[in-house]
Amino acid sequence: MIELTESAAGKVRELLQEEGRADIALRVAVQPGGCSGLRYAMYLDDEISDKDVTAEQFGVRLVLDRMSVPYLQQAKIDFVDTLEAAGFTIDNPMAQSTCACGHSFH
């Protein structure tokens, strides 16, 4: 299963508090597209089905569709906040190659 760092979980918890709903989870998915063939999608989702794979890490419920699991099983999501950039990053050792933008892979 994908790993969420404490820093990323803290940021997600902030976003969930802003939404004010307990039924929302962080969905992480792989979708066709991007300059390398596949791209990451990450968003708050309240539509969770019994076909999804779920886990809880640091108080955050993670949801992945079954098609995305093989692509993300060793990935790690982090949140960085530096002078150069701020946002979520995905480190995925399963990716054979990535693009310069860091949002798509093959």
pLDDT in tens, 49-96: 999 999 999 999 999 999 999 999 999 999 999 888 899 999 988 876
For residue 49, the domain's CATH number is 2.60.300.12
The span from the CA of 60 to the CA of 64, in Å, is 13
The span from the CA of 53 to the CA of 88, in Å, is 21
The span from the CA of 4 to the CA of 11, in Å, is 11
Task: State residue 104's pLDDT score.
Answer: 47
Residues 6+ apart with CB under 8 A from 102: 89, 90
pLDDT score of 106 more than 50: no
Q: Is residue 103 part of a domain?
A: no
Q: Is residue 58 part of a domain?
A: yes
Q: Is residue 71 part of a domain?
A: yes
